[in-house]
Amino acid sequence: YMTSMGFLLLGFKEFFGIAYRWWEAVSVALVASVGIVLSRVLTDGAYDGIWLLYVGSGSNLLMTMLVIWQGKAGETLPSRSLAVLVTGVYALGNFCIAPFAFVYPVLFLDGAPHAIWLEYCVIPLVICNAATYVILLVLKLERTTESQRYLATRDMLTGVLNRRAFYDSVAAFTERDGSMAVIDLDHFKKINDAHSHKGGDDALRAFARCAEATLPADAVFGRTGGEEFAICLPGYDTTAAMLVLEQLRANVERLDVASPKGGSMPFTISCGFSTFRSGAWAIAQTIAEADNALYHAKHSG
């Protein structure tokens, strides 16, 4: 029983990506088992030491609760707080039984255990045990759902919004003023030719990280295809958008990206943008205007 709670602890550590050693599953059980044996030997069998079984199991469950409470950095699972509650109640139940098991030791008659507290405690512990495993399945389903949602909305290479998710997100700002920008990595084919396709991928990832670090929190940023990206700046007029985009252009120019073939891999970007008015703009048209401005930017140096 104690060892199973130990493996439950390790299972949750594995689930949340927390380092562990296999012996953690049996360490509490070994210590408590020694205590149980000593209790019987030192009292000539007057005390069976079974109360230590519940203390050990409760300890493993308490550590499991703390692991769930800590969770995985950056991950939001709606049922995690419920999992903390379930394992906490399970741990508390074991700790509450321990005093009864100490005061009223279990007697074995014809091989069957007997104690005045036993019949009232077994079913609640079984329910808690089942609830703990059910909540773990719920957490796994929530993680799978979140993973599928992430994969459906994110570009696999850069991790930013993909084309569809970008358009869906921008649709929420049709009733606001703002600016829409289209950005293109300059001479991307030459980057691939000179630094290999991995170098091209590294350049795209480096630009995406730079953009996420530079852009304001309310900006919508996504990869719309190949080496092309788009940015929506709700609430930003021409002057404000120019400041943000010029800062991004300058930051990219200063990037120090290592080439897979050795040395550095400098690159630049070109950008075109268009402003829009609330209730009077279409996403496709505004992006087309920004794309036309990008064309002029690239051909004017």
Q: Which of 227, 246, 253, 289 is catalytic?
A: 227
The number of angstroms, rounded, from the C-alpha of 74 to the middle of its chain's C-alpha atoms is 4
Give the contacts of 182 (CB within 8 A, at least 6 positions apart).
Answer: 224, 228, 229, 230, 231, 271, 272, 273, 287, 290, 291, 293, 294
- Record the tokens describing residue 64, joined without a space: 């499991």
253 tagged catalytic: no
* Residues 71 and 101: beta-carbon distance below 8 Å: no
Residue in the structure block whose two tokens are 């075109």: 272
Selection from 191, 189, 203, 197 nearest residue 158 by Cα: 203
Give the contacts of 270 (CB within 8 A, at least 6 positions apart).
Answer: 183, 184, 186, 294, 297, 298
Selection from 106, 112, 102, 104 nearest residue 55 by Cα: 102
Active site residues per annotation: 227
